[in-house]
């Protein structure tokens, strides 16, 4: 009878977890979406990147326009006597005119900076989303670990009661009671450690969201079931098309080319047109024709680009900039490929570990618990076998959750590199290891 009760107790633990997840899932499945929405309006890195984009956009309107005209006023301290009268002052206006094509190139140069700032915003958004997902996964793993340890504590308390009953009946030694109590104390300390870990994770999330550091955040009890929806070989192709860092690198190449075209324009002169009048008084003697008339003078000037070595050096500088930008782009592509391969390896490794623990090790550990407890009750096994089986169950349960979290972290990193969403993040992992088998085993016991 005791054996049946023990078996039912062990099987009820995952059932209670499954039932509690049904009620908590509705509350938890939108947490990550809320975090990401809040980050869009509160994250300081995103706000700074948007400000830089506005500054770059403002520069586009500043570039590619004519320089301001110059108004020139001269007053003759000593009037210049002429036939038609004394010249007392001069008034002129001049307008600089860059060589043909320079102004559009200047505007185009600034537009490259605007595009680079836009790509930076996209890169920051992806990186912030990655950090939030990583923090969220860490928070979920903490909640799941707390639940696993709490369930383990319930099992240990039950085992302590069994050991005390057997000791009272003379079927176990006091060593068995002390040993199970020591394991219980160790697990309680682990539970307290996990509880303390919530505070730094909460602060990390609030900092990413741009909210008060101490704002309360519920600890999720479930990890999301994050599975890649894209083929592995297609992820790198998507990254080449969407990765903001590559787009920024391409814009830098284009900017260097535009700079080279602008440097070549310096081999041609810039012009200046002017219009000037001299204020003239009436003639003091006689009555000459045009007495007091103000002469008007139109003029054109240009610089003489005779120092060509300086201009050749500027073109050479831009050529070097083009090569540097191309090398940076190739380095970005190689780095992107490397990071994607590392992310795919981490994803495959996490899937392998998850299958190992859920399909093999956890069912085995649960059977060990049942066999060890049965043997302990019948006097065939010592408490050491029972504790060893309990430790294996705890270790494998946490390892399975760690593998589930690592798989989600790998996807978060891949999404940041590819620039697209590769999985569904709002689907909770409600299928605990061997829940279905446990439920089927319990039903006959209940009948």
Q: What is the DSSP string of 359-427?
A: IIIHHHHHHHHHHHHHHHHHTSS-HHHHHHHHHHHHHHHHHHHHHHHHHHHHHHHHHHHHSS--S-SS-
Please tell me the predicted confidence (pLDDT) of residue 382.
77
Arithmetic mean of pLDDT, 274-303: 85
Q: Encode pLDDT of 406-431 as tens digits.
A: 999 999 999 999 999 999 988 887 65
Instruction: Please check the confidence at residue 4 and state whether its pLDDT lies above 50.
Output: no
Please tell me the predicted confidence (pLDDT) of residue 184.
92
Please tell me the predicted confidence (pLDDT) of residue 16.
36
Please tell me the predicted confidence (pLDDT) of residue 26.
40
Fold of the domain built from segment(s) 2-65+100-268+308-446: Outer membrane efflux proteins (OEP) (1.20.1600)
Residue 8 confidence class, pLDDT cut points 50, 70, 90: very low
What's the rounded Cα separation, in Å, for the pair 381 and 389? 12
Residue 29 confidence class, pLDDT cut points 50, 70, 90: low
Instruction: Please check the confidence at residue 59 and state whether its pLDDT lies above 60.
Output: yes
Q: Encode pLDDT of 316-358 as tens digits.
A: 999 999 999 999 999 999 999 999 999 999 999 999 999 999 9
Instruction: Please check the confidence at residue 17 and state whether its pLDDT lies above 90.
Output: no
| Whole-number average pLDDT of the chain | 85
Q: From residue 145, how far is each of 140, 256, 304, 388, 438 by CA, in Å?
A: 8, 53, 77, 19, 20
What's the rounded Cα separation, in Å, for the pair 358 and 400? 7
How many whole angstroms from its chain centre is CA 20?
Answer: 32
Arithmetic mean of pLDDT, 188-192: 94
Tokens in use for 63? 């570039």
The total number of residues shown for the chain amounts to: 447
Arithmetic mean of pLDDT, 206-217: 92
* 46, 124 Cβ separation under 8 angstroms: yes
Task: Please state at what angle helix 102-168 crosses helix 44-62, rounded to 10 degrees.
Answer: 180
Please tell me the predicted confidence (pLDDT) of residue 93.
96
Q: Encode pLDDT of 227-239 as tens digits.
A: 998 888 899 999 9
Pairing mode, if any, of strands 296-302 and 70-82? unpaired
Q: Which among 331, 353, 341 is positioned nearest to 406, based on CA atoms?
A: 353
pTM above 0.85, yes or no: no
Residue 24 confidence class, pLDDT cut points 50, 70, 90: very low
- Mean pLDDT check: name the lowest of 101-110, 161-170, 268-277, 330-339: 161-170
Q: What is the dihedral of CA 40, 44, 46, 50, to 10 degrees?
A: 110
* 401, 220 Cβ separation under 8 angstroms: no
């Amino acid at each position: 009878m005791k054996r049946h009760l023990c078996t039912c107790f062990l099987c009820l633990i995952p059932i209670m977890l499954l039932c509690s997840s049904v009620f908590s899932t509705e509350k938890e499945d939108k947490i990550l979406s809320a975090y990401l929405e809040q980050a869009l309006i509160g994250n300081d890195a995103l706000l700074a990147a948007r400000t830089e984009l506005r500054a770059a956009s403002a520069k586009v309107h500043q570039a590619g326009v004519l320089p301001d005209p110059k108004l020139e006023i001269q007053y003759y301290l000593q009037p210049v006597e002429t036939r038609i009268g004394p010249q007392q002052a001069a008034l002129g206006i001049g307008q600089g005119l860059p060589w043909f094509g320079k102004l559009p190139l200047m505007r185009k140069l600034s537009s490259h900076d605007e595009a680079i700032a836009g790509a930076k915003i996209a890169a920051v958004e992806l990186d912030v989303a990655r950090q939030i997902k990583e923090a969220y996964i860490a928070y979920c793993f903490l909640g799941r670990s707390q639940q696993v340890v709490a369930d383990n504590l319930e099992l240990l308390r039950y085992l302590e009661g069994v050991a005390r009953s057997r000791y009272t009946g003379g079927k176990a030694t006091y060593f068995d009671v002390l040993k199970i109590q020591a394991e219980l104390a160790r697990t309680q300390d682990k539970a307290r450690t996990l509880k303390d870990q919530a505070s730094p994770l909460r602060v990390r999330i609030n900092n990413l969201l741009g909210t008060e550091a101490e704002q309360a955040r519920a600890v999720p009890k479930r990890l999301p079931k994050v599975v890649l929806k894209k083929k592995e070989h297609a992820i790198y192709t998507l990254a080449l098309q969407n990765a903001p860092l590559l787009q920024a690198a391409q814009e830098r190449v284009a900017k260097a080319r535009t700079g080279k075209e602008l440097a070549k324009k310096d081999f041609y002169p810039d012009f200046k047109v002017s219009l000037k009048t001299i204020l003239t008084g009436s003639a003091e003697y006689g009555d000459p024709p045009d007495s007091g008339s103000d002469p008007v003078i139109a003029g054109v000037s240009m610089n003489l680009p005779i120092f060509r070595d300086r201009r050749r050096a500027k073109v050479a500088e831009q050529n070097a900039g083009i090569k540097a930008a191309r090398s940076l782009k190739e380095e970005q592509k190689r780095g992107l490929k490397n990071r994607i391969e590392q992310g795919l390896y981490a994803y495959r490794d996490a899937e392998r570990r998850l299958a190992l623990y859920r399909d093999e090790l956890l069912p085995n550990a649960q059977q060990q618990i049942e066999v060890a407890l049965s043997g302990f009750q019948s006097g065939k096994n010592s408490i050491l076998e029972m504790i060893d089986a309990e430790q294996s169950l705890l270790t494998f349960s946490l390892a399975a959750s760690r593998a589930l979290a690592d798989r989600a972290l790998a996807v978060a990193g891949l999404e940041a590199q590819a620039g697209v969403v590769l999985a569904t993040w709002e689907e909770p992992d409600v299928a605990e290891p061997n829940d279905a088998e446990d439920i089927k085993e319990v039903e006959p016991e209940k009948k």
